[in-house]
Amino acid sequence: MLPADTSSATGPLGPPGTEDLVTLGLYVLIATAMILLLLILARLLGNRTHSQQKDQPYESAVLPTGDARLREPVPFYLVAIFFIVFDVEAVFVVSWAVAYDRLGWAGFWQISFFIVILFLGLIYLWKKGGLDWGSETTRLQMLARRRR
């Protein structure tokens, strides 16, 4: 015997029913209320005394010395950003490769478009000098050698 309301039993096959939307709304409401309750309790029950010793940074029993800001060269951050961009690209390409037989030609053209856009971005960065290492004088000397 089938239940009278099969909207939640169908799952992703059909559009969400009213019961599903009410359940989602209730979940969001309860999660938001719990977060607010915990923030308010932390504010009310937390200890808020300050002293010079409490406000001093502390890490691994070593007192801080010098400036907290490290002067890293810009290429360090560029390499970090490139790593993140191409790491995300690898996730998309590998996930496409796992399901290529189900995605068909539409999936192939979509991943090809994605790779071409990223490749054009890489060419743009290369032309702008984003991949050049070393000091500016070294880069200018290399540009002068290329022009000869």
* All structural domains of the chain with their residue ranges: 17-45, 74-147
pLDDT tens for 56-65 read 776 676 766 7
74-147 is classed CATH 1.20.58.1610: yes
Q: Tell me how far apart the alpha carbons of residues 73 and 110 are, in angstroms, rounded to a whole number.
A: 36
Rama region for 129: left / alpha / beta (φ>0; ψ in -120 to 50; rest):
left
Answer whether residue 33 shows pLDDT above 90: yes
- Global pTM reads 0.43
pLDDT of residue 82: 80
Strand ranges (E), the chain: none
Which of residues 39 and 76 earns the better pLDDT score?
A: 39
